[in-house]
Amino acid sequence: MEKKQRGVKILLVDDEEIFLEATARQLGVRGFKVTTADSGEAALLLMHDTPPDVVVLDQQMPGMSGSETFVEMKRINPLVEVIILTGNTSVDNALELLKMGTFDYLMKPINIDDLLYKIEDAYTRKMLNEKQQ
């Protein structure tokens, strides 16, 4: 990841604590500013407190689902870019989520390099959109 993109603010949302911790650590050492939330509801509160550039959002969570959370996030900040994480049994929904406006999807278990590339692309898209507004 290029130097200019260090300090990119990432919000990581997943109900699996181990996944949250491990991924946050891996992103943190690469210079990202990571905040985490273990539910859609908690993530929405953080959208106000520490607005992220890119959200990495699990689709299947108890309480608010990933897609419900996504809709609310876009209402709060239309420019935020969201990458959805899906499992092997819910992958069929990825297209619907893309049509709704998510940036991209990744299947679990994730490859950290793939996640980095997608975050980088999502962040570039967000910055370009912001400048063009």
Partner 1 sequence: MLKELVALTRKIFSRDQEPDTPELEFAEVERLRLAFKSRYHSFKLLLTANGRVLEAMADMERALQGNESFSMSFVHTGCTSISVNVYRMIADMENIAPGKYSGLRESFLIIQRQIDALLGQKKDKTDKRLVIPLETITSEMTELAGGKMANLGDVKNRLHMNVPSGFVITAAAHDLFMSTDGLQKEVDRIFQVAGSDEDRNLDLVSSQIRQKMMVANIPEPIRLAVEEAYVHMKEQNGGQDVRLAVRSSAHGEDAKNSSFAGQYRSELNVAFPQFFYYYKQVMASKYSAQAITYKLNRGFRDEDIAMCVGVLAMVDAACGGVIYTRNPLDSKDDSIYINSTWGLPKTVVDGNDLCDLFVVQRDNDLTILRRDIRDKGYRFVCGGDEGCMRTEILGGENILPSLTDAQIQQLADLAIQIEQYYEGPQDIEWAIANDGKIYFLQSRPLQQVESVMPSIDFDLQQYDSLLLTEGGTNASPGVTSGIVFKVSKKVDILQFPEGAILVVEQALPTWAPLVARAAALITEQGGFAGHLANVAREFGIPALFGVKGAMTLVNNGDVVTVAADLGRVYRGCIEPLTHWKRPDAKLMLGSPVYETLRTVSRHIIPLHLLDPESRDFTPEKCLTFHDITRFVHEKSVHEMFRFGIDHSFSERSSKQLHYKVPMNWWILNLDDGLINEIKGKYVKLEDIASVPMLAFWDGFAAIPWDGPPMMDSKGMTSIMFRSTMNPDLVPGIRTKYADRNYFMISKDFCTLSSRLGYHFSTMEALVSERSGENYLGFKFKGGAADFERCMGRINFIKEILEKYGFRASVNADNLDARLEGRDMQFMKSRLNILGYLTLHTRQLDMIMGNQPLINYYMAKLTKDIDSLLEKAKRDQ
- Residues at the interface with partner 1 (CB under 8 A): 87-89, 91-92, 94-95, 98-99, 104-105, 107, 109, 113-114, 117, 121, 124-125, 128, 131-132
Instruction: Tell me the C-alpha distance between 97 and 91, whole Å.
Output: 10
Positive or negative, the Cα torsion across 52, 106, 22, 2?
negative
Q: Which is nearer to partner 1, 33 or 125 (CB)?
A: 125
* Smallest separation (angstroms) from partner 1 to the CB of 115: 12
* Smallest separation (angstroms) from partner 1 to the CB of 40: 20
Q: Residue 4 has which token pair?
A: 């200019």
* Alpha helices (H) in the chain, listed in sequence order: 17-28, 40-49, 66-76, 94-100, 112-132
Q: Which is nearer to partner 1, 50 or 130 (CB)?
A: 130
Q: Which is nearer to partner 1, 48 or 89 (CB)?
A: 89
